[in-house]
Amino acid sequence: REILFATSNQGKARELKEAFKQAGIDVEVKTNADLTNPPHPVETGRTFEANAKIKAHELADFSGMLTLADDSGLMVDKLNGEPGVRSARYAGEAHNDAHNNAKLLAELGGVAQNERTAKFNTTIVASMPGHFEQDLVVTGQCAGEILPGPRGKDGFGYDPLFYVPEKGKTFAEMTTDEKNEISHRGRAIKKLLVELPAWLKQFE
Ligand code: ITT
């Protein structure tokens, strides 16, 4: 059994593969990197769900495979929820973690630590080719704070700046398993794995 995870982000792919492995799910997870000349969906939606559907549908049509897509973002309270759905292109279209993190720190310059609260959201869509009206949608969130500087070497994206008070660590100071236990993506994947078996039955 094979499933396509419609992502070009290797950090997301690592986390999903690890979560599936931990749950004992015996499927082979492919990503865009395993396809020849895959399309590059333009994320024009105004919500995580809309953007996840754009990615899931384009790649399901292209591949003919059962397809998952993940649209995620960081919402910072002091920045009125920014960067939100624009998290990947916060510092400009050339999607670069270092520039995005630098911009986030600059925007929060001078803001006291107790006002640097934020949360991550992940929305995952599962799409069966030809049955997009029956998409499965799950979400997960995780609350934390934006540190004044990076901590940790693991993870990806905004992870070195995202501190989880209950754990006393940033996401970049956690192993993939530790991050999955509490993260927005880990929580969304847990819901997905609960709902997927019944959802799949309708296509048998
Ligand atoms: P795909 O669309 O190909 O899946 P992407 O990186 O463009 O990959 P998004 O559109 O969902 O993904 O953009 C999310 C942005 O938020 C991007 O800059 C990520 O680096 C960042 N991000 C997402 N999940 C994250 C996480 O768990 N930790 C840190 N940063 C994360």
Minimum CA distance residue for ligand 1 atom 19: 157
Taking residues 123-129, report their average pLDDT: 98
CATH number of 2-201: 3.90.950.10
Q: How many CA atoms lie within 13 A of 204 on its CB side?
A: 7
Determine which of 5-19, 62-76, 89-103, 129-143 has the lowest per-residue pLDDT on average.
89-103
What pLDDT sits at residue 133? 98
User: Best substitution site from 12, 44, 57, 123 to test ligand 1's pocket, by max atoms within 8 Å of Cβ?
Assistant: 12
Give exposure, 82-119, as e/b (b: 16+ Cβ within 10 Å).
bbbbebbebbeeeeebeebbeebeeebeeeeeeebebb
The binding site for Mg(2+) comprises 71
Q: If pLDDT is split at 50, 70 and 90, which confidence band does 147 have? A: very high
CB atoms within 10 A of CB 41: 20
* φ/ψ (deg, to 5) at 3: -140, 145
Task: Decide if the complex's ipTM is over 0.95.
Answer: yes
Question: Using the 8-state DSSP alphabet, how is residue 83 labeled?
Answer: B
What pLDDT sits at residue 1? 87
Taking residues 34-53, report their average pLDDT: 98
What pLDDT sits at residue 94? 77
Taking residues 170-179, report their average pLDDT: 98
Determine the longest span between alpha carbons in the chain, in angstroms. Answer: 57
| Residue 92 three-state SS | coil
Whole-number Å distance between alpha carbons of 39 and 34: 12
Whether residue 78 contacts residue 14, with contact meaning beta carbons closer than 8 Å, is answered with: no
User: Best substitution site from 40, 72, 189 to test ligand 1's pocket, by max atoms within 8 Å of Cβ?
Assistant: 72
What pLDDT sits at residue 23? 97
Say if residue 83 is preceded by a cis peptide, omega within 30 of 0: yes
42's tokens: 């333009």
Is 71 known to be catalytic? Answer: yes
What pLDDT sits at residue 93? 83
Residue among 71, 97, 135, 154 flagged as catalytic: 71
Q: What is the mean pLDDT of the chain?
A: 97
Taking residues 48-53, report their average pLDDT: 98
The pLDDT tens digits of the residues spanning 51-68 come to 999 999 999 999 999 999
Question: Taken in order 67, 192, 49, 77, is the CA torsion positive or negative?
Answer: negative
The pLDDT tens digits of the residues spanning 81-122 come to 999 999 999 999 877 999 999 999 999 999 999 999 999 999
| Residue 108 three-state SS | coil
